[in-house]
Every structure is written in C-alpha cells, then in structure tokens.
C-alpha cells in the first residue's frame, strides 16, 4: 500500500489517543505493582497461617508423645511393679502347675495400677510377661494383646537396652472403629540380659487426626516417620503410604519432632494460596475496565467539543494554501483557541499588507540593483586614477608621494576587495607595512615596522585585515603617536600558527591586562583598545572555532605583546602555489 494514500491521523485522534494512554499506562502500572506487592503480602500471610497451624499441631503431638514416654518411664521404673514382675519371674512353673495365688494377686495389682493411671481411654497400655501373660488398661474383648507377639517388629524388642524406646510408628489396632495407632514399645530387663516383660503403649491415630482435620481442608498436615511413611494424616486413606508430592504445585514446610526421627509436614497448594488474590484482582480489573470505558466516552465527547475550532482553523489553512487570503475564521474567545483564531485572522490581514509592501520593495530593489551595477565601475576607476597620479609623481621626482600613493592604493584594494576573505600571511604583513607608512605620513611619526617570520609560516592563509586592529591599537594606545617599534613575529608551533605583535610603548599594569584578558574570555569588550581586540577575537572564533586564542603580555615601561594562536587545520589553508614558488 502506498504510504501517501494513507489518511493522516487527525489532531483530535492524537489528543484522544494521548489522553487514553496517559490514563491507561499509569493505571496498568499501578495495578501491576499493587498486584505484585499485595500478592506477596497475602501469600506470605497464607504461608504464615499454614506454618502457624503446623506449629500448633507440632506442639499438640509433642505433648501426646511426651505423655506416652512419661507413662512408660513411670511404669518401667515403678519399684512395686518391678518387684511383682521379678517375683513372677522367680515363681515360673510349667503349664501343668497351678498358678500361685501370690502371682495372681501381683498381676491383679498391676492391672489396677494401669487402670488408675489414666482417667480416659486416650492411651492403650499393655504389659506382656515373658510367659505370655498380659496386663492392660482395656478389656480383652476389645483387643487381644497376645496378637502383638505375631508382629514382625516384636522380636526387635529383645535387642533393646533397658532405657531404649522402640518407635513402632503407625500400627494397625485390633479393635473395631480404631484401625490405626501410634505405638511405642520397651523391653523391661532389670538386671537381666533377657527381658522378663514388654511394655507397649498405643495412641489411637484418630485422636491426632481430629486435630489435623480442624484446619483448612486444602492444607494437608501429617506426621511422617524417618523413612517417609505417613503415620497420621487428615485423610485416613493415606496413612501407611509413602509421602510424595510435586514441589512445583505445593508449598511444603516441615518441623521435626525430638524423637524417633518423626516430623510434622504441611502441604498447601499454591493455587489455594493465590485463590483470594486472583479473585480480588479480577474484581478490581472489571471495575477499572468499567471506569476506563466511561472515561473514554467522556474524553471523546469533550475532545470533540474542544477541537472543533482547531479543525475549523485547519480547514481555513487549507483554503489559504490555495492562494486565497480573503477567508477568515471569525473564532472568538478568551481561551487559547480563541486567541489563536483572532491572531490567525490578524496575521492574514498583515500578510496581505506585507505582500503589497513586498511588491513595492521588489520594484525598488530592481532599481537599486541597476544602480549597484553602475557603482561597481567606480573602484576600478579610483585605482586607475591613483596609479596614474603615482606614475606622474614618479616622473616628476616625487618618490615619497609616489610611495604613499602606492601604499594607499594597496591598502584600499585590500579593504574594498570582498572576493576573498582569506589572504596569505605574507600579503597580510605587506598590507600592514603600507598601513604603517600611511600612519607615519598622517601623524608625522617615526614608527619602525619589523617582521620576523619563518618560511613555513608565511604561506598559510589568515582572515583578511586580521592584524590591522592590533597594529592600530599599538600605534594609538601603545606608542601614543610618539614613535617606536612594532615587531611582528610568526612561526609554527604544535600544529598552530603563532603571530605575535609587540610594541615598544608604555605598557599596561597587571590589573588592566587581567581585566582585558577576562573581557575577551567572557565576550565583554573594554573601552578603547579592548574593542579592537574583541573584534579580532570574534573573527578568529568564527573562522577557527574554539581551538584558537589571544594572549596578552605587558609590562609598564616595556611595551605590550599580543599573541595570536590559530590552528593550521582550521579556516586558514596552506597555499600550495606560493609554497611551490618559494621552493
């Protein structure tokens, strides 16, 4: 598609788009930042809540297990119970023998001790004797304790010391309605190497599960043993299974218990943590979308009213572009558009007046051009007359007058000639020689003009009449029409052309030199001599840029030296033809 065929976007559309973007970008940025910060805060809060829940469960389970250990210690180290158990070991007899009443009374006493140890059924305590006799705090009809003898872990109790505890973990209970328990076991040995009794304490898993189920259903809290096997879970179907989870979808935290290698593990889905945040910002987004739509409708309506005068001016400008300046907008008002319409109408009126003036000036300009063409013959006529007078003076023996006419003609030619703003340095010095001769004749002075220039410096070009203001200052203000010497030295130094103009005049005090030098630096000229130096410096800056400079040195009674520094690669250029002639 041709780009020229595309319709340009109107000012009203640009204003509306800009206003919408100015609202949309900050709103979107603020929403994104607030979403990010709020999400982090709420996520951190949800994580803290999950960890707080785990801390409560940890403390609860720790209390239960510590209670189990406390009861096991109390039973194992009770002197009366150990005495009865040892007495039972001492009166061992065959199965055909009748049980001794004393043994029966001891077992009954242990049973009563176990019944009185707990006020509820929170723990199931079992004492298994070496001969298979059992004493419990529960009825045999609920669970037969002899079934512990068939467990795979039971033979390991014989390997324990008297102070060790075997952490059975999640154990299947043999009673209806209570399928699992958290069980610990000990071997009661006393002074013997072989146990003479076994202590088994079981905590129904359902008591722990009830606590786990009081928290958020989306949070999984469980007890896991050292092998990663789940001992208790708020979902009973997962008890006895291995712990497995996807870290990319779940936030995992754990806290170790101080026994058996068990730990409390909490799993919370990330989508559950951010669920509330997502809902919150969905509502905020819908609300902002409604407000944004209302704003767009309002801005379009207001911009249509505000830009109508501007569109009228644009149509007027299109008509004027065709060349007809008679149309006017007639837009009034105190606002910017009204002022613009009034100014536009006034401008059209002034343009019509200016066009008539320009037509008149063009006619006058044509007449002046004819006069200027005629005036171009006058300088040539003047130089020819001066040359004729000089030749006549020489023929009559007036050599001094002829020399003055030659100097005047050369200086006038350099002054009037506008064809070339750059001259060779040797031509500039020759012009200054003529200028000094004319000044000597005018003021009847005896001023010596000396030049010391290296051969490689005189071939470079410099701005025409660059040295004239400096030489004039030296004559008028340095020598003060009393005669003296003006010396010009030229050389090349570090890719710069150096021109030093020194006079043997009265000089200047240091304060005046500093004031004059600072005036050149800040562009403020000083009276008298300062004006000429400022003009020279301004021409140098225009010709060479910033890589040039003027340095002033003066001593009272010994004269003043003006040193010009100009880059060789600047406005001045090397004169190849002149250099070839010198070679």
Distance from the first to the final alpha carbon of the chain: 66
> Which DSSP helix (H) or strand (E) runs through 250?
strand 250-256
Residues 6+ apart with CB under 8 A from 485: 447, 448, 449, 450, 503, 504
Token pair of 503 as six digits: 């006079």
Candidates 514, 510, 534; CA nearest to 524 is 534
CA distance 528 to 576: 39
From the CB of residue 510, how many other CB atoms can be counted at a distance below 10 Å?
10
Threshold 0.75, pTM exceeds: no
Q: Are 538 and 423 in contact (CB under 8 A)?
A: no
- Residue 560 · residue 552 · CB < 8 Å: yes
Name the residue among 220, 259, 261, 210 with its Cα closest to residue 243.
220
User: What is the length of the chain?
Assistant: 583
Kindly give the confidence (pLDDT) of every residue in the chain, 583 residues in length, as a single tens digit, with 9 standing for 90 and above.
445 445 566 666 777 777 777 777 777 777 677 766 776 776 677 777 777 777 888 888 888 888 888 888 888 888 888 777 777 766 654 444 455 666 667 777 777 777 777 656 678 888 887 777 778 877 766 667 777 887 888 888 888 887 888 888 776 665 555 667 788 888 888 766 788 888 888 888 778 877 777 776 677 888 888 788 888 887 777 887 888 877 777 788 888 887 777 888 888 777 766 666 677 777 777 887 787 778 778 877 777 777 777 777 777 777 777 767 776 776 777 766 677 777 777 887 888 788 888 888 777 666 655 555 454 445 554 555 566 666 666 666 666 676 666 667 666 666 666 556 788 899 889 888 888 887 888 777 788 999 999 988 888 999 888 898 899 888 888 888 678 899 999 999 989 999 999 999 889 999 999 888 888 877 654 454 467 888 888 888 888 888 899 999 999 988 999 999 999 875 544 443 434 333 3
């Amino acid at each position: 598609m041709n780009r020229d065929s595309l319709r340009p976007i109107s000012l009203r559309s640009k204003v509306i788009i800009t206003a919408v973007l100015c609202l949309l970008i900050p709103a979107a940025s603020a929403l994104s930042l607030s979403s990010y910060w709020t999400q982090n805060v709420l996520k951190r809060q949800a994580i803290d809540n999950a960890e707080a829940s785990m801390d409560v469960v940890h403390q609860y389970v720790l209390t239960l297990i510590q209670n189990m250990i406390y009861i096991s210690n109390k039973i194992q180290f009770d002197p009366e119970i150990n005495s009865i158990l040892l007495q039972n070991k001492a009166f061992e007899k065959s199965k055909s023998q009748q049980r001794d009443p004393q043994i029966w009374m001891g077992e009954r006493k242990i049973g009563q001790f176990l019944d009185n140890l707990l006020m509820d059924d929170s723990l199931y305590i079992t004492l298994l004797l070496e001969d298979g006799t059992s004493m419990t705090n529960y009825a045999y009809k609920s669970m037969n304790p002899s079934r512990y003898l068939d467990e795979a872990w039971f033979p390991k109790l014989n390997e324990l010391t008297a102070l060790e505890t075997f952490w059975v973990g999640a154990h299947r209970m043999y009673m209806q309605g209570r399928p699992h328990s958290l069980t610990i076991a000990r071997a009661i040995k006393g002074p013997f190497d072989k146990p003479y009794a076994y202590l088994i304490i079981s905590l129904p898993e359902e008591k722990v599960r009830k606590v786990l189920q009081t928290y958020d259903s989306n949070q999984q809290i469980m007890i896991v043993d050292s092998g990663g096997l789940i001992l208790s879970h708020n979902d009973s179907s997962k008890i006895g299974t291995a712990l497995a989870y996807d870290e990319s979808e779940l936030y995992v935290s754990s806290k170790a218990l101080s026994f058996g290698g068990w730990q409390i593990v909490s799993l919370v889905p990330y989508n559950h943590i951010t669920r509330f945040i997502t809902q919150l910002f969905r509502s905020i987004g819908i609300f902002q979308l409604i407000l944004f739509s209302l704003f767009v409708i309002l801005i379009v309506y207001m911009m249509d009213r505000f830009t109508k005068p501007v569109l009228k001016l644009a149509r007027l400008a299109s008509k004027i572009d065709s060349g007809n300046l008679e149309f006017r907008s007639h837009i009034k008002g105190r606002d910017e558009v009204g002022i613009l319409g009034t100014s536009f109408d006034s401008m059209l009126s002034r343009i019509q007046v200016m066009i008539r003036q320009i037509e008149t000036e063009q006619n006058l300009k044509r007449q002046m051009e004819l006069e200027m063409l005629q005036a171009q013959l006058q300088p040539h006529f003047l130089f020819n007359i001066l040359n004729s007078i000089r030749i006549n003076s020489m023929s009559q023996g007036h050599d001094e007058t002829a020399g003055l006419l030659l100097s005047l003609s050369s200086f006038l030619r350099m002054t009037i000639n506008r064809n070339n703003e750059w001259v060779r340095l040797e031509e500039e010095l020759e012009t200054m020689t003529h200028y000094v001769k004319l000044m000597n004749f005018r003021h009847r002075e005896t001023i010596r003009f000396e030049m010391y220039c290296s051969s490689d410096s005189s071939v470079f070009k410099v701005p025409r009449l660059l040295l004239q203001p400096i030489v004039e200052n030296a004559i008028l203000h340095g020598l003060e029409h009393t005669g003296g010497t003006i010396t010009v030295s030229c050389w090349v130094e570090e890719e710069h052309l150096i021109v030093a103009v020194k006079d043997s005049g009265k000089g200047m005090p240091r304060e005046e030199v500093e004031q004059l030098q600072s005036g050149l630096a800040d562009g403020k000229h000083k009276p008298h001599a300062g004006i000429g130096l400022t003009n020279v410096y301004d021409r140098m800056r225009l010709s060479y840029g910033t890589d040039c400079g003027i340095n002033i040195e003066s001593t009272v009674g010994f004269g003043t030296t003006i040193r010009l520094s100009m880059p060789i690669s600047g406005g001045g250029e090397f004169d190849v033809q002149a250099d070839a002639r010198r070679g």
